[in-house]
Each structure stands twice: as structure tokens, then as C-alpha cells.
Structure 1
Amino acid sequence: MTQSAPIKVTLIAGGVGGAKMAEGLYHLENVELSIIGNIADDEAFHGLWVSPDIDTLTYTLADVIDRQQGWGVANEGHRALDTLSKLGDDTWMSLGDRDFGLHIYRTHRRRQGDRPTHIARDIAKSFGLECEMILPTDDTVQTRVRTEAGWLSFQEYFVKERCAPEVRELHYDHIEDAHTTEEALNALAEADLIVVAPSNPLVSILPILKVPGILEAVKASKAPKIGVSPIINGGVVKGPADRMLSSLGYEASAFGVAQIYADFLDFFVIDHADEQHVTAINGLGLRTSLDTILMKTRDDKVRLAAALLAVSRVGSKKASEAQELSA
């Protein structure tokens, strides 16, 4: 029996939630996965260019991630950081020895003038990944966080300050001048399904969608678009998304996230614990699906990924039948 053509899935992702969703899709049979990852968390440390979200995706899919903390390499040493600390350097950004090796390679390639997109692709391939790791732009875009003490880089807020200050404003520096990569546009145009991961919508997803041309390409795609809520019963598994949403005037709930995505998604998957939001989310024009969306194990991730494909297939079939009846 001839196997059907693989389903082309384009995942928009950042952070640990994005990496979990990527892992589920990556381990599904007959899926050709492309990932457009967040680069607005990128920053230079010790003269090296660090790309935390892209590296977390790469390490996760290569199965070398430190699963306890959700980022970095498992069984990592910190001798380089110890030396830097002894020399008086500021070492609040914890980078492991093997992690340093990757940042040295990336920085060397960037200084040679290589496209960041090609560098990310080559790193992914060197780690044995059989998916496309795509950057939304080769330009530098950086999320800034305004707190009571003033403006911070995202890593200063997230790592150094441990997300403690109240967020009063977000800004994505240089995003209006960024140029979308052809790879990202092609992945969206050729997708059979576009998935928005259960990532922090404000600092992981919007910095991708706000790169000029990305959101327009998502809307123009004929593929079903499905998102997964990062909020379960008013809270998050990890990270500051709920507090950020509240402090910036959004509702910290599955409904609040649905409001952010309502103008381009077709389907929104929320947890059974948030069933009370179904009517309101449907009122936004989204088709809502209830599921268990907490992903603790690889089996959880693969099961949810398979459920997304099933929801999009069934929903698209019903929409097509409704159009035929109304014609």
C-alpha cells in the first residue's frame, strides 16, 4: 500500500511550551515539520551571540536538553563560567560549557557574514534534526521590557530579575525595519497546517507575527490555522505569561489569549479545565476544541500533536461541507 504524502506542518514557536509542541509534532509519523522560531530573546553575552529559543528547540529535538530546567544541555559543566566569574565578569546568564561551544560557532559564522538563517539550519542539521529550523528574519529584533526601574532587555528581566518586576510595557526593538526571510514565507505558503504553539503570546509569538509580512502570510495561507492555549485554568506551567497578560491589560485566561489570536486562527485548543470559556471563544469566530493540553511526557506531546491534526482535518471538512450547502 502506497503511503500518502507527508503533511506539511509549520509551527510558530518560542520558549519551553514551543519546544514541547515541536517535540510532539517532530515524533509524529508522516509529518514534514518546519519551525519558525522566536529570535527576539537573542542577546550578546561575553562577546558571543546567544539565541535561547532557537537553541532550546534544537536541544529538545536532538534529545540533549536539560529536561529538569527546560533549557540548556543535560549533564552540563560550567567551568568556562567559573573562570569568567573568577575574572570578575558578570555571569548571571548561566551558560554551560557545551552551550558556549555552540555560541562560539554561531558568533564566528555571523562575523564571517553568513546569514543567521543558514547558521540555524546548519546547527540543526549538525545535531541530526530532520526538520526545518527557520528564522522569521535575519535582522536583529529584541524584546524590551519596561518595569518600574526602567527598560530591561528580555534576558535581564527573565533571567537576572527572575521575572519579578511588574511589566508595564513591551517593545520589539527594530521590528518595523526587519525583513522577513524567504524561508519563513515559503514555509507558511506551502503548509498544509499552521500551528501556533502554547508559548507566551506576548514575548514568544507576537515578536514573530509582527515581523513585517509574517502575519500577512499566515492570513493568506489556505492551510487551517490552529493554536494551543498556554494558559490552563488561569495559570501557566512555566514562565510569566499570566502575570504579563494581566499587567498589560489582557485577561489572563484561555479566552484572553484567544482574543489576541482571533483575527487569524481558525481553531483554538484549550484545556478541559477551561470549558467555561468555550462559548466566549466561539463568539470570537474561533472553533474551540477541549483537550488535555498539559504536556509532561513525550507521549503527552505526541498525543496532543496528533489531536491537533485530527481537529484541523475534521473542522476543515465540516467547513467545506457547510460552504457547499450554502452555495
Structure 2
Amino acid sequence: MRITVLAGGVGGARFALGLRDAAPDAAITVVANVGDDMWLAGVKVCPDLDSLMYALAGVVDGDRGWGRAGESERVAGELTAYGVGWPWFTLGDLDLGTHLARTALLREGRTLTEATAQLAARWPLGVTLLPVTDDEVPTHVVTDEGVIHFEEWWVRTRAQLPAQRFVQHGAERARISHAARAAIADADVVLIAPSNPVVSIGTILGLPGVRDALETAAAPVVGVAPIIGGRALRGMAATCLAVIGVEADAAAVAAHYGARSQGGILDGWLLAEEDEAGLAGLRSLGIRAEARPLLLTPGEPAAQVAREALALAAAIAG
């Protein structure tokens, strides 16, 4: 079985780990958001790709859910002393090694897809990790105080600075990568991870070619709700949803994505048992929705969520 997952960072990583456990014999491809990417202190930082790679490699900092375990920050201290970079966005020493390696590969003329493949080859990930595009599409946040990079809004202000809208700079000129398009076209199942619907999955969907690839895919497309009982599984998705006028509700997120039969992206949707009141409305929209336990607790619970998603996809496929 060939499974392709569209994912952001931390939530996507937890789901990918569960999926790898649930389908050990499947060929899994994770297509990652690159809207959080930035150049910082001269190096290319890809937060979502790195969170996915570190988690799948088993070297992630389990307490934070991102970054490397056993990290040190001596270089970051030196950068701060020189007045370089963002002092509130710490690059760990081990993490900086990843960014330096990626930057060297890019400056040699490799695409981000090629650079990611070389970095990932170091680890036994059990999946193929791809950026959704080789183009740069950094997410900016338009605020009352000006336009700032998404990571500054997210990390420095903790999303407390009121946002007017999110803008993926350069998205109109970007294109889905050939590898990401092929991963969607060749899949037996396409899954939408429970990642931020606005700045992770939303950024992926906003890239030219992605919606077309999903529309023409032969595989069923099944999403997993990132909202349980009105609360985001990770991060500040509720704040992001409010910016685009979508309720922080599992059914509302599915309706925002839309039914594939009606020009959206979803054939199926898993929401939590706490949110089963939304099932009837989603089914009326043409989305085959089911309620299941959705907490991505590492180990068997996360694997069971992945199994439920695969089972729903199998039922849709007939």
C-alpha cells in the first residue's frame, strides 16, 4: 500500500509515527509544509521538515516536541552576543548542524527536495520525507504593527499580537514539486494529518498545483481533525482559525476543507467522539464522517488513530 500524508510539524509528526506503527509494510510518503521556513543567521531553517525528521528518527526532544534531544546552545549564545539572529528563536547546536548541512547543499545547487533526501538518509525514518515545493513561500502575518514572519508572530508574540491575515510570500510563483505531485497521484490513500488547518495544511493547499493533484487523485482523501471538543490538539490553531473566520470546531474545519465531490479536498473525515454532533452536517455536505478516539498519545493510541483513518479510506474506496 502507498500512503501519502500532507502534514505540518509537531502534530503531523505524532500522526506520522502512529501511521508508521499502524502500517509497517506500507510505503509512506510525508509531504510537509514549508511556509514556516526562513533564512536565519545565514542558514536555511525548515521547522516542519526538521520536526518530522527528528521525530521519525527518534531523536526529537520529547518534552518540547521539537528540536533535538540532548541539545546545547553554545552557538546561539555567541550569535546573541554578536547581535545576530533572533534571540527569542534559539538554534540548538545539533539543530544548527542540520541547518548548515541543508544550506551547504542548497548553495551547491540542490533543490530542497534533494537536500531533504540527503539529510533524511542519515536516519532510519521508515518514510519518504518531501517538502511540498522547492520554491520559497515564507508565511508572513499582517498585523496592526506591520508585517512580520510567521515564526516571529508564533514564537516571540505567542500569537498574542492581533493578526489581520496570513500571506504566503511568493506563493503565486511557486509550484508543487514533481515528487510531491507524484506522491499524491500514485497513492492508494491520501491522508490529511491533524496539523494546523490554516498555516500548515492551508499553506500546502494554497500552493498552485496541490488542489489540482488532490482533485485528480484516484485515492480517497481522508482527514483527521486537529480540534477535539473545541480545543486544538497542539499549538494555537484556534487563534489562526479565528483570523480566517472559521470556528475552532472539528466539523467547521472539515467544512472549510470541503467535500471533494463539491470542489473541496475531503472524501472522509475523522472527528473525536466528543464532536459526534457534527457528523450529520458533514455527511449532508458529502463528507463521509466518523467519530473515533483521536488523542495522539505516543504508541498504540496514535497507531489506532492511523488505523481508523486507513479503515475509513478503505470503506470509501469500497
Would the TM-score normalized by the shorter structure come out above 0.5? yes
Residue 250 of structure 1 corresponds to 246
Correspondent of 1:63 among 51, 58, 67: 58
Question: How many correspondences in the alignment?
Answer: 311
Q: Aligned to 2:129, what secondary structure does the other structure show?
A: strand
Residue 17 of structure 2 corresponds to 23
TM-score (norm 2): 0.95
Residue 271 of structure 1 corresponds to 272
Residue 261 of structure 2 corresponds to none
Structure 2 residue runs without a partner (length 5+): 259-263
Cα deviation, 1:8-47, whole Å, max 9, x if unaligned, reads 0000000211111111112222211001100110001111
Structure-1 separation of matches of 2:4 and 2:72: 34
Structure-1 separation of matches of 2:148 and 2:266: 31
Aligned pair 1:295/2:290, yes or no?
no
Residue 10 of structure 1 corresponds to 4
Correspondent of 2:232 among 236, 247, 253: 236
**Most deviating of 284-293 and 237-246:** 237-246
Question: 1:54 is matched by which residue type in structure 2?
Answer: L
Structure-2 separation of matches of 1:37 and 1:174: 17
Residue pairs, 1:98-117, within 5 angstroms: 98-117=94-113
1:25 and 1:31 in contact (8 A); partners too: no
Q: Aligned to 2:66, what secondary structure does the other structure show?
A: coil
Correspondent of 2:79 among 75, 78, 84: 84
Aligned pair 1:32/2:27, yes or no?
yes
Query: How far is the alpha carbon of 1:312 from its aligned partner?
Result: 1.3
Cα deviation, 1:116-155, whole Å, max 9, x if unaligned, reads 1000011111122232111221111111111221211111
**Most deviating of 143-152 and 261-270:** 143-152
Q: Aligned to 1:168, what secondary structure does the other structure show?
A: strand
Q: Which of the two has higher C-alpha Rg?
A: 1
1:229 and 1:269 in contact (8 A); partners too: yes
1:268 and 1:289 in contact (8 A); partners too: yes
Residue pairs, 1:299-310, within 5 angstroms: 299-310=300-311
Question: 1:88 is matched by which residue type in structure 2?
Answer: G
Identity of aligned residues (%): 35
Structure-1 separation of matches of 2:25 and 2:123: 21
Residue 184 of structure 1 corresponds to 180
Q: Aligned to 2:303, what secondary structure does the other structure show?
A: helix
4+ long deviations beyond 4 Å:
none
2:191 and 2:222 in contact (8 A); partners too: yes
1:20 and 1:301 in contact (8 A); partners too: yes
Residue 163 of structure 1 corresponds to 159
TM-score (norm 1): 0.92
The CA RMSD over aligned residues, in Å, is: 1.2
